[in-house]
Copies of this chain bind each other. A is one copy, B any other.
Amino acid sequence: MKILFTFDPEKELRNQLIKTFPQCEYDFVKTINDAGQLLSQAEVIVTMGEDLEDHHIEEATSLRWIMVTSAGMEMMPFEKIKEKGILVTNARGIHKIPMAEFTIGLMLQHAKQFIPLNEQEHEEIWSRRLPTSELCDQTILILGTGAIGQEIARLAQAFRMVTIGVNTSGTPVKYFDRIETIANLESLLPEIDFFVSVLPSTNKTRYILKKKHFEMMKASSVFINLGRGDVIRESVLLKVMEDQDITHAFLDVFIDEPLKEGHPFWKMKNITVTPHISSTTKMYVPRAFDILKHNLRTYIHNKGDYINIVDVERGY
């Protein structure tokens, strides 16, 4: 049984995998375009998820399972995959810890004025006049109440924050003091201090945030987008920040990534740009490999207890 990796994992992880499953044959290529004939022989493809196209699926005539070591499924050729009846699993769930830590980190960076403190330090200025604040007693609204949203809410509650979640059903979710449906979003906006989106990109989430939403928020409030860039049009968000409807936006995701040099987001004082890094830590690939190993054992022994099967109809 041949397993083709379309990326090059660290030596240690690779060796550990080979040692655990010596019955498999492994091929590691740097990109899928280097795979050549290996593609037609592979029964399993392990991919970071943004490289597979229809013609690869056609060429991979032995393919039975695709393990994606990320969670973003927008680039997957699901039509073709469905046609061939190929199993897809992914690494969703491993993002929640780093992304929740990143979110709290950004909120504290804002509340504790770490960037202005850093600028003062460069000038050797000792001044305690910065408008530092607290997370305690502040209200956070999280768009998306899945694993990532819940982990953010859990930590926010530890900080004695009030947590409001918005999802499609309005059904109660652990760690949220209150859950509302998206239909009630507008009535919530005037109360909140932090507005966090961890929404994926789907037909239902694309461009759902409008200028009016930010106009309803406090001038002191903060927007954090760690989900997908297309939850709001770039031109709309630019206008929001130019008009200072809110005080700051932290953006980790963009409609076109990498964000181009010269893009106005880079330059605006009240926008912080980070390079889609909230889930990326050195723990990322090891955690994805834990899922891979579990699922590989399941595949080999035909046990049927896969973690994270992707519904190829729905695309997630």
Contacts and interface: CB of A to CB of B under 8 A. Distances in A.
Contacts of A117: 274-275, 277
Interface string A260-285: 01110010000011111100111100
Given A97-B160, A109-B105, A158-B158, A124 B266 contact: yes
A98 B134 contact: yes
A275 B128 contact: yes
Contacts of A112: 101-102, 105
A114 interface: yes
Given A105-B112, A128-B275, A277-B128, A282 B133 contact: yes
Contacts of A154: 158
Contact of A101 (B108, B127, B266, B275): B108
A258 B98 CA distance: 36
A27 B120 CA distance: 36
Interface size class, chain A? 35 or more
Contact of A282 (B131, B266, B280): B131
A281 B130 contact: no
A120 B109 CA distance: 16
Interface of A: 97-98, 101-102, 104-105, 108-109, 111-112, 114-115, 117-118, 120-121, 124, 126-128, 130-136, 154-155, 158-160, 257-259, 261-263, 266, 272-277, 280-283
Q: Which 9 A-B pairs have the closest CB atoms?
A: A105-B108, A158-B158, A126-B258, A124-B266, A126-B275, A124-B261, A105-B112, A132-B281, A97-B136
11 contacts: A97-B134, A101-B135, A105-B114, A108-B108, A109-B109, A117-B277, A120-B275, A121-B274, A124-B261, A126-B257, A127-B275
